[in-house]
Structure 1
Amino acid sequence: MEQEEYTKEEIDWSYIQFVDNQEILDLIEKKPGGIIALLDETCMLRNSTHETFAEKLYQQFKGNQHFSRPKFSRSDFTIHHYAGHVTYQTDLFLDKNIDYAVNEHQVLLHASRCSFVSSLFPPSEESTKSTKFTSIGSSFKQQLQALLETLSSVEPHYIRCIKPNNVLKPAIFENSNVLQQLRCGGVLEAIRISCLGYPTRRTFDEFVDRFGVLLPEVLGESYDEVTATEMLLEKVNLTGYQIGKTKVFLRAGQMAELDARRTEVLSSSASKIQRKVRSYLAHKHFIQLRLSATQLQAVCRGQIARHYYEDLRGKAATLTIQTYYRMHFARKNYRDLCSASTTVQSGLRGMAARKELQYRQQTKAAVIIQSYCRSYLAHSQYMGLKKAAITTQCAWRGRLARRELRKLKMAAKETGALQAAKNKLEKQVEELTWRLQLEKRMRVDMEEAKSQENKKLQQKLQELELQSNETKDLLKREQETAKAAWEKAALVPEVQVDTTLVNELTAENEKLKTLVASLETKIDETEQRFDEVKKAREELLKKATDAESKINGLTNTMLSLQEKLTNMELENQVLRQQALFRSPVRTIPENTSPKATPHGTPPASKEYGKFAQPRPSFFERQHESVDALINCVTENIGFSEGKPIAAITIYKCLVHWKIFETEKTSVFDRLIQIFGSAMQKHDSNEDLAYWLSTSSTLLIMLQKSLKAAGSSGGTPRKKPQTQSSFLGRMVFRSSNITVDMDLVRQIEAKYPAFLFKQQLTAFVEGLYGMIRDNVKKELSSLLSHAIQVPRIMKASMVPAIFMRKIFTQIFSFINAQLFNSLLVRHECCSFSNGEYVKQGLAQMEVWCGEVKPEYVGSALDELKHIRQAVGFLVIFKKFRISYDEIVNDLCPVLSVQQLYKICTQYWDDKYNTESVSEEVLDEMRTLITKESGQDSSENTFLLDDEISMPISLEEIGDSMDSKEFQHIAPPPELVAIPAFQFLKS
């Protein structure tokens, strides 16, 4: 064992020769074929004797070098042990081997009440099994094996018992006998092996812990155990030791030397400690004595001072007692005198008060009787007058009601005519709208046809230009050829005229002239055709311009008709109010006349008609103001005080013109067209962020200010006279009435305002969704856009709640994509992929920690599914984890279907470990079966990406304070217009 330990520790040593008893042990107990095994086999045969047993041994171990047969014996055998030869006699082997204890006796003795006797016969494990032959040799072998197992599991300390003499008497020591016992017991061999090797072995931590006091600096500094051990051994100057991998090996006697050094150091340290302790105790005793003397002196001096103080206090108390006694005697005499006088006065006053009370009670009773009598007479007279007045009033009111009924019937006929006119105008508006749409479609078709015709004409024009250029070049070449021939003919001297040649030249000249004429004709035709094409193009352009002007005219006509319809409704309301004001109800006394109509509107003044039909030039100016506002806010006009100027300007103008309180207007439609065109035209995040900031700010102000009619929480106040149409309200604002205008206040809005608010909410959701979709598209190619988008949205002054929600949904999108990939793709659900994703998630967590919370918020919580799934993938020894630990500790968010999918798809491509056990999978299958039977709608294991805007109007409204909108600078383009001077307030 020691040599195996030396080899394991890899120290420098030489092999030690020793006697190995394994062959003798195999000879005795090897099964089958050992002596004990042959003895048990012989005992099981009925006619066996010790001689047959000896004969079997002779035959079995005939060639064994450790077994021999004595010369003069037929049943003995000799075993050659390492200490000498031992001869065994087999005469009683069989009888002793089958001489076992009866089982009933053992049970009886084990049932004894004496604990010692009961412990001597413990119940054997074989007694519970089926009965089987067990010999004494087998039992001894089993007990010896159990003893070896016990010794192997503990750290035993051996004690060898040696007989000093064979006579068994005291004070006799036989050296040779004792030496023989030590040799036979293996003690000498063990000592020899121990001396050749390293008998003392200690682990590094035990060695440093025990002998660290020899070198205190080793304990104080951070040395590793091997270095500390070597320093200690060098300190004590030991030689011959060996340093292994986990232990230090010492020669015989070196441990005693180290213990002696340690004892010396500890003794010296104990002396120093005793000296210091005794010095401390003596010093402490001296301080206590000094403190006791000081306290004793203080007590004595205090006692003397207290005696002196008590003497002075007694003298002062004597004077005080005398003073109080004299004062008490004088006060007692005075109180007796006062009590006597008070008793006499109270008696006299009580008698006078009783007389006065009796007189007053009699007077009060007389007054009550008189009052009841007069009240009865007055009530009787009042009831008669009341009955007569009610009768008269009923008759008069009935007459007035019949007269009012006749007038209302006449007004209803007029109202019916107005309603018919209104319906007619609505039909005209619908017809014009249909014609406008038709004109738009015709305009689109015309533009397409125009574009196609232009392309064809341009192609033909290019072809004609090419033909014209070719013709001109050919004409030039022919003219140059003819000119050269003419000049050549002029230079030739006169020769004999050849009539044939002249005729040929003349004919050729005529042909050239004809060709030139035809080419000139073609050029003229090409130019004429080009002019026609140009004219046709101009006509098409003129038609397109006319169609566009016609569409604009129809649009203006439709708007004017809408305004006319609104004015007619205003006139209708004026007529109704005038019909009510002409009724005779005003003859009723002032205490019973109503202050308002049944519709809640105050009575109109006599000058109301002046405002009901405003001049056309004034309405044109109001339309110009609306057009100026629309043209201004269509472009990006920037921000002021961190808020979009366009939203604040629109809100101020709508409040100033009282658009929210109108029952019908086109301003909201035009504003909605602006936002709609902005969504269609712009695709960049900068433009979308600007319009999201503008629309959300306007929506926040509408959320804080608009309320339904009649839903005010406080006490209603009397408001000035209001108009019901857009133009009427603008006329009303033109009067000299000035209203204190707060930026954000409660307004009783009509249906168009709430419809505009709903449409604006839809645009906010649409813009938010477009920015979110753009980020998602760019996220797959470049994740750095997630850093640029907050800067862009911050530069565009978008409320922080939108930035937090965008990152929340982006992280939710990342969580859903990664988690669904793990569940769907088998190659992703591996150990190495889990480590890779875990590193990426750690980087995202670090990034979220560096970014301000106003941008990210709690977006990191959206990654809980993928974080828990990855944590499960990278954990070791999954087969030891139970289902409760997975659900409660590792993955509390994941469902049973998701856990089952991950567990079945998991594979370890790095360490080849197993997934969870079959028991956990069976439990998951059972739960999945139960849940599928209860609710089949939740059986999906994939995550969905939420595409809606997860923000409510209340959250948007609470994210800003209305005070933040008060100091916004208006756009300079509108301030320069006189109609918008109210924006400066």
Structure 2
Amino acid sequence: MEAPPGGVDDMTRLSYLHEPGVLQNLATRYELNEIYTYTGSILIAVNPFQRLLHLYDTHMMEQYKGADFGELSPHVFAIADVAYREMINEGKNNSILVSGESGAGKTETTKMLMRYLAHLGGRSGVEGRTVEQQVLESNPVLEAFGNAKTVRNNNSSRFGKFVEIQFDKTGRISGAAIRTYLLERSRVCQINTPERNYHCFYFLCAAPPEDTQRYKLADARSFHYLNQSSCIEVEGINDAEEYLATRRAMDIVGINEEEQEAIFRVVAAVLHIGNINFAKGKEVDSSVIQDDNSRFHLNTASELLECDCNNLEKALITREIVTPEEIITRTLDPESALASRDALAKTIYSRLFDWIVEKINVSIGQDPNSKQLIGVLDIYGFESFKINSFEQLCINYTNEKLQQHFNQHVFKMEQEEYTREEINWSYIEFVDNQDVLDLIEKKGGLIALLDEACMFPRSTHETFAQKLYTTFKNNKRFVKPKLSRTDFTVVHYAGDVTYQADHFLDKNKDYVVAEHQDLLNASSCPFVASLFPSLPEESSKSSKFSSIGSRFKLQLQSLMETLSSTEPHYIRCVKPNNLLKPAIFENTNVIQQLRCGGVLEAIRISCAGYPTRKTFYEFVNRFGVLGPELLEGSNDDKIACQKILEKMKLENYQIGKTKVFLRAGQMADLDARRAEVLGKTVCFG
């Protein structure tokens, strides 16, 4: 049977479950602005690159409230509703995993999920600020400080986020906790055209004059951390308006006026730090502040951070080496001084971001009595660029973990259902990516070898790469490119990615330079000092190494444990084209994303199994018209199902204990025959 002209809203109903059929169906629906399509219980969301406001209004929310899954058109609200009902009716914690590549629409999808859950679980809070309102307003605040324009997306989240929304016994939202992962620190001081730095820098430069004057800010183009890229403005983002909107949102999430003032002082200080340049000093390998302009920015940064100007200068151009006998002061050459400047800016900004997340969590508050939660995960999708570094490895490692979770869940669910219903089934093979995970996270794996290299003073990126080559030379998931001495390729589930080892060692070291720590801990501004609390005595003497990779591995393990204890629901976001424009659907682009997201694999499982299942009552109710004479005098729905299927001459279906299981395409066939019968009844009735 051919697919209907408008496509089918659940791909497991396609007669032919193969790549061309799936693509054709998605393209047909996209043309009609039907951006959502199911594959069984998985929702595929194709980014429309335009506002479809009617899809998300209160009327639409009311429609989906309590509706049976599949009764209405596919929608992000339907997934949220299923999660909410399962939590309420079965007392299970649920999670919704939103994935897809950059620009596929994950952040917007996550916001819609949160809006719908807030609609279902709304309640009034203290002073008119409701918990759900605070949860929703945390989005624009975190976007201002954690999102940026990238090549692929004008509002790209540069951090991962897991929001646990807690509910009380009556199903009302009673608290929430936000966990964030891997903020992209390097963006603070290094960007390329056509990208931008974090939104908040541009918002602040476009703030009302009283604010920009207070922070001694000029046009965004005058700051090194912003003008490395020729892109200063973004279509569709009014920085001046967004500044005011961000301040309002900060107010709602409980960041008071004084704290907001301190936050933007720190943001301004980071911009001024980026404009401090150095020239060669008189001594060998020493540096001095380059000129009056740099001196102005040094003075302004020290004023904003409320720290001593001479001490700031010293912290940028010297290092103290502590030996048992004495303290030796070593000077830095201009190149090292620039690296010191950038390290300071990155540290200040990432501490500020962590403070904001923590403040939002404290302000919203967690409900210690809550037994029920829905977690929403919005995390970067698989990445493969011309140049891939440590950040991409961490992101792709995350996606390998989530893919394994997805595979196991989809397969396990299918096969548990078959066993429960006591029907015959053959074990379906699936692609297991455990070997890639072993390569990355196991003892003696990539992360462990990177930590080892970071702790060994004489390590370079060359020696690190050589160690990888010798250790993994027989590993089929690891490839050494012929022409490079420092690149390495990992064969990921979604495709091969070549990484440049050049900055891996630096990026894995999460240390705060002792001089920077001491300088800011001594700030007269309590807010700045609180970002740099005193360290225990033994660790403050030197720049101790702490591994970002290992810490992330532990965070990821904890996230996976949380997800494994919940009932998961999956939303796969798809970017239809790279131009970020509406009404363009590029087949090759889309098919690659469906492969990466395991959607085609999930379809293959459905194909090998029984994608459509209906309870006996549902089946008889729907298809009784195909054999009304068979239903007479019988109250046994199971026997009625058997008779209808025999009359329709279908093969390979199975009848379980409570349900009918149909092969791919059989439901579509039955629907067509039902439509035919009903058509005749209408015509001749």
TM-score (norm 1): 0.21
Question: Which has more radius of gyration?
Answer: 1
Q: Return the structure number with greater strand share.
A: 2
Q: Return the structure number with greater helix share.
A: 1
TM-score (norm 2): 0.29
